[in-house]
């Protein structure tokens, strides 16, 4: 039983990190949307920095997930990986919505 618990601990840590990254991403999305609604360039700048940090956290979590043994922990890892992918797509949409159009001369 000790071996099983020791083996599962890294998996739990990876899943916890992934869930934290997802929450950071959701918080960043909300910050961007809030700043856009207020039309506050300072808040938007801060929110975009938060969004970039969220991208990095998601990338790190995805890398950690990819390094795991999916054979023994398949279903749970697949579900978390799907959540990471969906969150990454959502962040990409938010990021693309914040890009300023080039000025037409």
Q: Give the residue extent of every domain in the chain.
A: 2-97
Local confidence band at 100 (pLDDT 50, 70, 90 cut-offs): low
Q: Which residues contact 95 (CB under 8 A, 6 or more apart)?
A: 48, 51, 55
What pTM was estimated for this model as a whole? Answer: 0.75
**Contact present, 33 and 94 (Cβ < 8 Å):** yes
For 58-85, the pLDDT digits (tens) are 999 988 888 876 666 677 778 888 888 8
């Amino acid at each position: 039983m000790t071996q099983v618990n020791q083996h599962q601990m890294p998996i739990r840590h990876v899943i916890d990190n992934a869930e934290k990254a997802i929450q950071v991403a959701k918080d960043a999305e909300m910050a961007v949307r809030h700043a856009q609604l207020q039309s506050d360039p300072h808040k938007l700048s801060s929110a975009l920095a938060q969004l970039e940090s969220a991208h990095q956290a998601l990338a790190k979590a995805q890398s950690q997930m990819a390094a795991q043994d999916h054979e023994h922990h398949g279903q749970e890892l697949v579900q978390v990986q799907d959540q990471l992918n969906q969150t990454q797509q959502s962040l990409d949409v938010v990021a693309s919505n914040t890009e300023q159009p080039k000025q037409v001369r």
